[in-house]
Amino acid sequence: MDSTKASQELMDRSKVVIPGGVNSPVRAFKSVGGVPRFIDRGEGAYLFDVDDNKYLDFCCSWGPLILGHGDPDVVSAVKTQVDRGMTFGASTELEYKLAKFIVDRIDAVEQIRFVSSGTEAVMSAIRLARGFTGRDLVLKFEGCYHGHSDHMLVKAGSGLVTFGQPSSAGVPESMTSMTALLPLDDEEALNQFFTENGDRLAAVIIEGIPANNGLLLQRHDYMRLLRSLTEKHGVLLILDEVITGFRIGMGGAAEYYGIIPDLITYGKIIGGGMPVGAFGGRADIMANLSPDGPVYQAGTLSGNPVAMAAGLATLGKLADGKIHAQLETINRKFVGKLTTQLADSQVTVAGIGSIYWIVFQSELPRAASGISADGISHYNRMHEAILRQGLYLPPSGYEVCFVSAAHTEEMMAGAADILIKSIKEEAHTWA
Ligand code: PMP
């Protein structure tokens, strides 16, 4: 890599007109240091920055790009739709087609509504759950991210369960006082919480596979307990599949665990790289939405035709499951190679489907409290050096890596070699 001069200059200029120079905080590289790269273009598995450095992309726009950059079918679908019109503020057949595609394939989803982001999907699903049940309290889990709507910005306190401490300035306590927080992977805490609060709980929301604060793989038994407790107490289970939807196979995390949630939220892949979110589930619950029911929800660009076209083209290519199988094989090999060669390094590599996460600790945590802050700082310290060797890893040790269908076995083998060497070098600094 020759230079980051053009990225640096753009960052300096952006900082004048955009807070922190970025439109989403993690892009500022605050955790990892180094120059935040400004991207010029993406091609297949690669990103090119404005200094014309080339990177193998393991961020994949944080998940949407399961087919890689510039998939010809997605691009063609988008171009065709752009020529016909970019937004109408009226319904199109494309919305019906994408809704039908998802409803036909996902057992839990009898009806679905499209929005423009994952945040909006979650916010709407929670309003719907509250409207449907007539209850206010919502339970979420420490280490799960559900977008930045006020009532989801809750941080952990000292006790087993915390009510309503906002984790962002600008969120009044009254907005989060109806959000309870529990640690993941703790059956006892869950049982106790339901015994005490189950009957005033509207919904429990959990990430399909928690992947915003490390990759916290949950046990099937734990997820089944959650399903049975929610059922018993008339509480809606919202599975947030913004990341896992159509990534962990066509059936997402719901299929992986063998559970049927009441509502599912989507984003990322279903928009094929365009801004999309969605929430769907049982028809009797969805019937409560405006215009048929009393729960208000709307959006100027909801179901945007260009986004629907990109989503349909993407999901259409995934439908026969071959791409998921190929991705899983490639990722498993890659994770296996890292795991074997780093056996002495106190580094663990977690993988599921086409997601992997490198953590500098000898055991894989299942709850947020199990993540070693020291371990994360090792990842963060390696980040710039790895970028300079041509791998674009997400700029925070808490974030997971994504593999796309454009990543080949050769690319993955080369990336594994770079990572193994860099991790071993970093490991020496604390051995
Ligand atoms: N839920 C989950 C599980 C997510 O991973 C994200 C985004 N990373 C969101 C919700 C919010 O989605 P968005 O950034 O599109 O608002």
pLDDT digits (tens, 9 = 90+) for 405-417: 999 999 999 999 9
pLDDT at 1: 57
Distance from Cα 145 to the centre of ligand 1, integer Å: 7
Q: For residue 119, give the ligand 1 atom closest to its CA.
A: 16
Distance from Cα 267 to the centre of ligand 1, integer Å: 7
Tell me the sheet residues that pair with 357. Answer: 350
| Pocket mutation for ligand 1, best pick of 22, 23, 119, 355 (most atoms within 8 Å of C-beta) | 119
Q: For residue 122, give the ligand 1 atom closest to its CA.
A: 10
Distance from Cα 62 to the centre of ligand 1, integer Å: 9
Task: Give how far Cα 6 sits from Cα of 3, 291, 311, 390, Å.
Answer: 8, 50, 33, 17
Contact 43/251 with Cβ under 8 angstroms? no
pLDDT at 342: 94
| Pocket mutation for ligand 1, best pick of 120, 149, 150, 212 (most atoms within 8 Å of C-beta) | 212
- Residues with a catalytic annotation lie at 145, 240, 268
Pocket of ligand 1 (CB under 6 A): 62, 117-119, 122, 145-147, 207, 212, 240, 242-243, 267, 277
Q: For residue 268, give the ligand 1 atom closest to its CA.
A: 15
Distance from Cα 378 to the centre of ligand 1, integer Å: 26
Listed as ranges, residues in the chain with pLDDT below 70 are 1-2, 156-164, 430-431
pLDDT at 111: 98
Measured by CA distance, the residue closest to atom 12 of ligand 1 is 118
Q: For residue 120, give the ligand 1 atom closest to its CA.
A: 16
Contact 55/393 with Cβ under 8 angstroms? no
Distance from Cα 311 to the centre of ligand 1, integer Å: 17
Cα gap 28→11, rounded to integer Å: 9
Measured by CA distance, the residue closest to atom 10 of ligand 1 is 146
pLDDT at 429: 76
Contact 389/34 with Cβ under 8 angstroms? no
Q: For residue 147, give the ligand 1 atom closest to its CA.
A: 11
